[in-house]
Structure 1
Amino acid sequence: MARLVLHLFGTPRIELDHQPLAIQRRKGAALLAYLAVTQRPHHRDALATLLFPEYDQTGARKNLRRILSSLHGELNHAWLQIDRVSVALPPIAELWADVSHFHHLLVSTRRHDHAPEEACTPCLAALGEAAALYTDDFLRGFTLPDSPDFDDWQRSQSEQLRSELDDVLARLGWGHAAQGAHSIALDYARRRVVLDPLHEAAHRQLIHLYAHAGQPTAAHRQYAECVHMLQAELGLSPTQETDALVEAIKAGQTPSIGKQTTQHSPALIGSNQATASPPTLSTSEAGLPAFLTAQAPASVVDKIIFVARRQELAQLRGFLQRMLAGQGQVVFVTGEAGSGKTALLHEFARQAQEAVPDLIVATGVCNAYGGVGDPYLPFREIMAMITGDVDALWQAGAISRTQALRLWRLLPDAVEALLEHGPNMIGAFVSGSALARRAAAYPLTQGDWGGRLRAQLAQDNRAPRREPWGRGPDQNRIFEEYTQVLRTLAAARPLLLMLDDLHWADASSISLLFYLGRHLAGRRILIVGSYRPEDVALGWHGEPHPLSEVIHEFERQSGEICVSLHEASAEGRYFVDALLDVEPNRFDETFRQALFRHSGGHALFTTELLRDLQERRILIEDANGQWIASPHLDWQTLPARVEGVIARRIGRLDARLRETLTIASVEGEEFTAEVVARVQSLDERQLVQVLGSELDRRHHLVRAQEIRPLGARRLSLYRFRHHLFQKYLYDSLDPVERAYLHETVGATLENLHHDQPEQLALIAAQLARHFQAAGLAEKAIDYRLLAGQQAVKVSANQEALTHFQAGLALLNDLPDTPERARRELNLQVALGVPVTAMRGYAHPDVELVYTRARALCLQLGDVAQLFPALYGLWRMVMIRGQLRAAQTLSDELMDLARSAQDTELLLEACRATGSTALHLGELVTAHTLLEQGLALYDRQQHAAHAFLYGHDPAVSCLGYLAHTLWLLGYPDQAQEWRRQVLHLAEDLSHPLSLCHALVFGAAILHQLRREAPQVQELAQRGLDLATKHTFPLWINSGMILFGWALAEQGQTVAGIAHIRQATADWRATGAGTGIPHFLALLAEAYRRAGEVKTGLTVLAEAFAVVEQTGERWYEAELHRLHGELRWLAGADQAEVERLFQRAQTVAQQQQAKSLELRATVSLCRLWQAQGKTATAHVLLTEVYHWFTEGFDTADLQEARELLTALSLQAR
């Protein structure tokens, strides 16, 4: 595969296979940089909004498609991972970005076993490479003027990278000086000063290193430069620490590098920056950093146009008063986009801070770019502000000076609260290194909170890396700590926390909000959240928005908690004035009052009404460029509502154009010119001219979208400029007119696509909607089926579920006939795949679907559909652990396939019978059947099987074969099947099959081979993919294997927690298969942790499950583990010997040579301890020499080492 290299330090440069690559569109280069730095998939809508904020969502998506298409071609149709939901760059070695490698190098230095202020030789090499990578600031000179959010992100990244470079240069300076490389150390220190000439700590380090290198004159010269820079730029004098250092140099003392590093380098996470105590301010604002004593920047807050909503502010003040009296709670401000929610929050915060001198205000904002993929974003922002992260916000004018001062002065108490009640918050909700820098910039006038913070960070930096917060039981701890920190701070001063745009909040943030809301009683904490009701009402992926339940529960507890901005208040006049005064004008009071009277002060109504007045030239610009009202102004003829504005614009059209748009409105917000032309019996070319010249350029009601090829012809797609135009026209039709037009439009679309089945499938959902609205249930059902099948092909399981369920609901409109039953059968069989994927293989809904499908097959005598129905039932009982029932059903499948003499059915039957045999411990039979199935597989012929049966059959067979071959004693052959299964699954682009390959086909095999790092990597990949697509089975199994890998690598506590929780979650889905294996892994983890008794309890449960389910493929290992744990528990050695021999016997009965080898090694170790070395040597030699491959695996290496030891002892 070619290599893609992204140079993002400095002017962006891109190389493909060592050749410079010119990206034609700047936004294409911006997109590549964004994906490379963030290193995660992003929702297409979020990227469209980020890069094209000036367009509506449809226009933005269209432009994003163009960018993606252009990039795809420029990158030779590789690299970009694009689906209909998200876009990402693949996390593979062939993709290299300098920024990512910079961070990788920094992370590598944190893994060394030494204190963070020290720097070993490998550290210095990595840090030196990182410094060399930083050739200039991030994307220097590259901007997107029309994408301010991207520019904000770019600036933020650049500031963060500069800060990290400062840390790197500091560590390099101290590290090389400690090794006597003074010239190199001085070079890095000088570069650090150049990076930020106002950074006193950098000057002090250079002074120190000059002195240590025997250059006192240079040290004094550097001190003079430091004094000059600080005085000239900031009006400050150097700190006492810098002065003391210079005085020591004057006295002839040479400061020690080791001592200096220890004293002046706080233990920053990932940083050894030599940071000194803060500068002594020469202003009256003692205790404040320079940025709060400088001239105030232009305030963004002051620029917000606020509608003076006295009633709403009064409601919020009432909540504030109750909070000050100790009645803390959560309240909400609601309103549609553009209704003034954010402005109201800012004004309320300003007034509240004026009224309450010690009130602390902090804000967190949810955003559409991170969305649900950025856990706890608004609460992280709040915690950052509470802990003094106000520099950037102040400089940007996003917060007032009053708010910044209060937050800064809160820093000591906030750090104390974190150290006492929320140590796990550091690093999770607030950056430890950033917190240390802020603490270092704060005068430690009272207490030693700064020292305790440094000690905590040093301890955290040496401790094993904590797992990502927010998973499983860790979430409760996070919630408790966050709540306790807030409650501690609120005991001394009231807190006002504001959460903006909660409709974009991630699920974790909403859960934390709910937790906080239930623990605010008696506390002076008020949380005010804002959201758009219409967005919340839309829900998430077909499910209710999680915020809805939270709001309802808070309303149940507290009564009225919402301040609604749905209706424009009487004070909307203030909005009218502010909107008019955005541009120069000479509107008098009469005009202003009239506009307010007609618009009601509603933001959207007012804006649309003004636009209408301008388009009709009733508002004009005079010679000085100021807006005035024309002499022909007639308020009586103007509408008072947006519907009136639209009616007037539509009313200007003649009957022919109105008919055209009315027909278009039936097709939807986006419509097809050729469809409208056929319905109106017009020439298509003529209609396109009318749409372009009249309805687009003249009336500004529609706009051209794209030309879409359709076989030998093309379709011309247009879009209404505002969805309200389409809604107004559609709503103007009576129900009878709508039904007939939907039928006609649907039939026209159908006829246009009749000879293009693939294209027809793409519009199946649209056709289903039209025929359903027309009351034609049969056609609507057929297209619901087709739309759902199309969704399954792109793994859009939720959408498929919706279509199939809608089709089933439409069956109620049909009489009970064989044709109705056949339609239901097709829907039920198709429904099984997405239900299984979304809800788990063993879910009751899966049983209902396939049981109904089987009954319909028997009713109709449909043998063809009976097979997938039986297959679904087999898979369900198999996963539930009902292996005897699974065996019966798999035999039925085999009988059906053989009687039909159908190789496609025989392939699936072999898969079912072979995997069932494997779980029953019938390994030879399983191997034979799985190989037969694999031999029948043809990728082109059987590509559709993944969408009918849930997985690609070859992926499944290969995965099971890999396990079987390892068990039978062929680890190398098993590894080859693992390689093939991953290659095939990655090539298929079928997420469910890829999850099967990653977790079952590959990760479990590496677990069997005792290769923990590979298990962890593969399980994590499977987890990420399963989480993205909501595959509960693979989430849980992936987490179990991930936990085992952690435990094997020494993180036993975290590993055990993962295995226990995921096993419980696995069982909660109804799954029973795999439990003996998972419990064996848990018992292993307990053994590693030294919890022998608990391990034995777990094994007892595993044996009970084996007897209950008949799942015996791992039974021999259970007996061996039982023996190992009993031996550790001090049991009688005769008992231990019997357990090991029982493991041997079971393995021999199953011909599981790998497990027999393990059991034999355990038995021989026991005999070795008993002095029976000769007997042990004979037995182990016989078993070991049976193997013909896999001699580099852990089991065979361990056996060989034991053989060697026995041989020496036997002499």
Structure 2
Amino acid sequence: MKFSEIVTQTIAWLQREERVSYRALKREFDLDDDVLADLKEELIAIKECAADKDGKMLVWTGASSVSSAEFRVPSSTQPPASSPQHLAAERRQLTVMFCDLVGSTALSAQLDPEDLREVVRQYQKTCAEVIQRHDGYIAQYLGDGLLVYFGYPTAHEDDARRAVRASLEIIFAMQKQAPSSLVGEGQGEGVVVPPSPLQVRIGIHTGLVVIGEIGGHGRTEQLALGETPNIAARIQGLAEPNTVIISAATQRLIEGQFEGQPFGSHLLKGIETPIAVYHVQSERQINSQLEGKTTLTPLVGREQEVGLLLDRWEQAKEGRGQVVLLSGEPGIGKSRLAYALREQVTTEGSLLSEARCSPYHQHSALYPLIDVLQRSLLFTRQDTDEAKIEKLERALALSHMQESLPLFTALLSLPTPSHYSPLTFTPQKQKERTLQALLQVMLAQAERQATVSVWEDLHWADPSSLEFLSLLIDQLPTSKLLLVLTFRPEFTPPWKPRSHISQLVLNRLGKKQVEVMIEQAAAGKTLPTEVVEQIRLKTDGVPLFVEELTKTVLESVESGGGFGRSVISLGIPATLQEALLARLDRLSTARQVAQLGATLGREFSYTLLRAVTPSETDLPSALAKLVEAEILYQRGVGEQTRYFFKHALIQDTAYQSLLKSTRQQYHQQIAQVLEDRFLDTKANQPELLAHHYTEANLIESAIPYWQRAGQRASQRSANVEAISYLTKGLELLKTLPDTPERAQQELTLQIALGEPLRSIKGEGAPEVAKVYTRALELCRQVGETPQLFPAMVGLWLFYLVRGELQSARELVERLLRLAQNVQDPALLLSAHLQSGMTLYFLGEFASAREHLEQGIAFYDPLQYRSRAFHAGHDPGVGCLSYMSWVLWFLGYPDQALKRSQEALTLAQEMSRPFNVAFALNWAATLHQFRREAKLSQERAEAAIALSTEQRFRQWVAMGSILRSKALAEQGEAEEGITQMRQGIAPDQGVRSEAVMPYFLSLLAETYGKVGQVEEGLIVLTETLAAVDETGQRFCEAELYRLRGELTLQKFQVVSFKLQVPPSPQPLAPNTQAAVWVAEECFLNAIAIAQQQQAKSLELRAATSLARLWQQQGKKIEAHTLLSEVYNWFTEGFDTKDLQEAKVLLDELSV
């Protein structure tokens, strides 16, 4: 034993016993007199921790004296002396062993306490020696148990293996020891000492811990906190005597190196989920290190992959644009391969565009493109808005796209100069125009000069950016552009295979390729063969692992180490995370800078990093070290310098090494600096501040920024992003105490969430109802609030679209009372419109007319033209359009037409596509009411064209149904039926249940025209049943009339197609029954229409019944019935319904 080890163990002995005789020291360490004298000199004169007493013993005089019951571990298993910074608490992966002596209770009953002490002491000493050989650290002696760490304070590449090997060696060593050989002389008579060897149980688990100094008042120790030590202790309890049980987490790290077998899954005390464990039996003689090796090729590195990229680049330069989808696991070399392409492109002098997706901006619409624009336009923080606009104008002029400047200023959050026309598109249309403009710029640039565009980390792309890439890929084949997209395997590209798209999946490197890479990474330094082999085996062909672990070894050598085993253990950790942490540890203060940078993101500016770095930090020096170590890449100089983590894994590792409390501190500091000093970011990227405040656990500060980010995204039609932001705000809000302030904040978020949710899910989606139901509940909690009205409107629209008219009616009545109470003209206008709509679908046309007339009276085009109401259309257009329908039902077809034309004119004057599409569809419906097929078709086709362009799916579907009916009326009934069924289908996005009865009546009528009477009757039966259930009675009279007509057609009583009576003939009994059924249907229709004051429907039903009575010879009754209705009308005599009624009256008069 080395003299230094004797010194440290003697110190530990003195700390425990407080005094030790020279005789005991000579026997314990087999010392001669000279060595004993040296030991006394070292302890008394040099270390000043002991004193001689009477020439017989040493007495402890140092600090931290402990009780005699505590056994101190030999120093080689304790952490070495380090600076306070090194001993600061940290997060790291640790393999924990828990070892327990079997049968200690029985031994205590069989042995004298002094002899038992000696047995336990020798057991602990034996374990410590084995643990010392494997560089483990005994954290605690817990009675007859040991808590041991592998991977602390120094990580090794095989800490899990060391723990398992040490465990097997401890069991082997215990088998050589028996209590009978350990007890001292003087054992009392009659005491039987067990002759069998000592036995132990051992459990091992690997996992994440926080390890640091615990304790105080001179009594401290390094302890790991977390679930990992507890699991190790619980697993030990599963072991049989002299067995080693390990967790699945540890098994994965030593797989193939030991013989063993599964030991089942167990639910451990205090652990929520079952833990799979394994029984380790022995170490394999030949370790399995070949798993995962790739087939060797004659090429070195990525020659084939580079060749493919260059081939696609040559095709692109010839005007045959190409896409390369480059995928692979983290660290496999995607970025490195793209960099090789960049070098070729820049050497040629061609253009290169680089976009980076960010985990902080996964829901920031078009973030990569905005970033590319800002960098390519050379925007600086010092630039004024005017200077930025000037740069933008110059750039757009190159592509002759100056007229698109307002789209780009909106995208870049810049004011639009006054000499440009303001944007008047809907948010969705503006988004589409912006994407098209970006596409045009990129293609125009490639047309001028062949270009490579590299998009990295597509797995973090926002939905809008993916939409842009889809547009770009569609137009790429005829351009001089090579598009390279990199992503991890978990991302599934949304693009179908096409001739100009190549898929490139990176595989791991072979043996020779790894050796060449190690040589290159060593930069001229020669590594021993055994070191190269260890690197190759541990990296398993992953380029990033190879590169980083080689540099770790070199840095260890440069810092004064050698290529001895301990240095290799430090230089080649078992995982990349450990390797990176080892590199960061050796960077001293630069480590903290790397962690702070990692908190900022994959990319960050010097200016922002400087703003959040403590003033005493030598930031330039630290950054220089990080760049030199190739943890960071640098671009630019001075204040414009930007830094990039070489790999996302490097950033992740640096960030995850931080304690949670430190992370929160950093995020808070970053958020506050952004808020106070980076006003552009605060205004244009509120989601970034929201993220940092969230990670800082400053929930009350984060929520307003999530709200602002959601509202900003919604205004841009980035609905997916808006939903994400607002939902995040709501989730955070749940963590706050239930107060009136929280309820008000949640109400604001719920109201904001409703609009984008309706756009994505549809107005009748259950998610929409949940949002507005919750909003109403919050309104009741908050009390009087202006947000009550939009909450009620949102839920009212849900009920209306779902056809739940009674619920809609109850809400709209409350809306009207609320508007009347506050006497707000805008609210009154909205409430009267919503009342008129609801009453229309209920079939209460006279009341609907009253409300719509009041709405029209409140409407002031100048005041409300810039405002969007419940469904996005102008309230004036809505009132006039619904009024046209109501007037037709009430028997005023000409006044209805006039109102419809007014609505369409008003919508067109506003130049708002949504209003125009709405008015066109309502006009097409009115012409269908009036049986003007050609005009209905024209309006419907105009609505379809506009709605398709603007992506108004509900209006496309409605227009398609109306167009199909118009075609059927003009002789294309079969095609009309097919198209109508497609438009009515639930997956078409229309399914406004409120209007479904009318659409279904059109389908049933068309079935009759092609002779499919049974299909038509089935539709009518189902629809009438639904009307009874929902109260959608606006076309109930027409449904009964059509049932009567189809019933007669089924028995050929009346020609439905021609609607002329056949020759009078005696009726068969079954035919007579059909006539009675039809007559009852017509009478029901008339009664319902009369109750609803629906004169137009009453006229149709009376005409049908009069025609039937005419066939039965009841001409007088028929004439009386029809004339009473006909004579009521004062207009519309040129419409088909009144013309046919007049012809029939003339026939009945003869």
TM-score using structure 1 length: 0.46
Q: Which has the higher helix share?
A: 1
- Larger Rg computed on CA atoms: 2
